[in-house]
Amino acid sequence: MDAQLTWELPTPGPRQNTISHVLIEGRLTGIQEWTAINTVDAPETSLTIQDIVPGGWEFRGTVVDIDDKRSPPLIATLVVPYDEPSSLVSFDAALV
C-alpha cells in the first residue's frame, strides 16, 4: 500500500524569493525527531511513499526558497491500518 502526500505551493509575495523545493519530513508516533524523507522541486506538488508500513505517521512539509530560507512547516497525519490477519493455518473437526 502506498501513501501519497499532496500540497499546494504558495505564491511568493513582493518581498519573497522564488521557491526552490519542498522538504518532506516524517516521523512515527512515539518518536520525537523528524527525519528527512525527500525533497520535491517546485512546481511539483506530490510525493508517493511506497509500501508504507502500518502505524501512526506524521509528515511535515516545509517550503524552501532559492536562498535556502525556510517557511514554517505544515503537518499532516496518517494512520496506516494493519491488514486483516491471515486465515488459520489449519482448521479441522473430528469426533473425540
**What does DSSP say about strands 19-28 and 55-65: parallel, antiparallel, or unpaired?**
antiparallel
Q: How far apart are CA 26 and CA 38, in angstroms?
A: 9
In whole angstroms, the minimum distance from the beta carbon of 84 to another protein comes to 14
CA angle (4, 8, 1) in 5-degree steps? 5
Q: Is 61 exposed, middle or buried (0-12, 13-18, 19+ CB in 10 A)?
A: buried
Q: Least CB distance from residue 6 to another protein, whole Å?
A: 13
As a whole number of angstroms, the distance between CA 82 and CA 96 comes to 37
Tell me whether residue 31 or residue 74 sits nearer to another protein (CB atom).
31
Nearer CB in complex with another protein: 19/47: 47
Q: How far is the CB of 91 from another protein (least distance, A)?
A: 25
Nearest to 74 by CA among 32, 34, 31: 34
- In whole angstroms, the minimum distance from the beta carbon of 4 to another protein comes to 10
Nearer to another protein, 17 or 28 (CB): 28
* Footprint on this chain of another protein (rule: CB under 8 A): 24, 26-31, 33, 35-38, 47-56, 82
Please identify, using beta-carbon distances, which residue of 19 and 57 lies nearer to another protein: 57
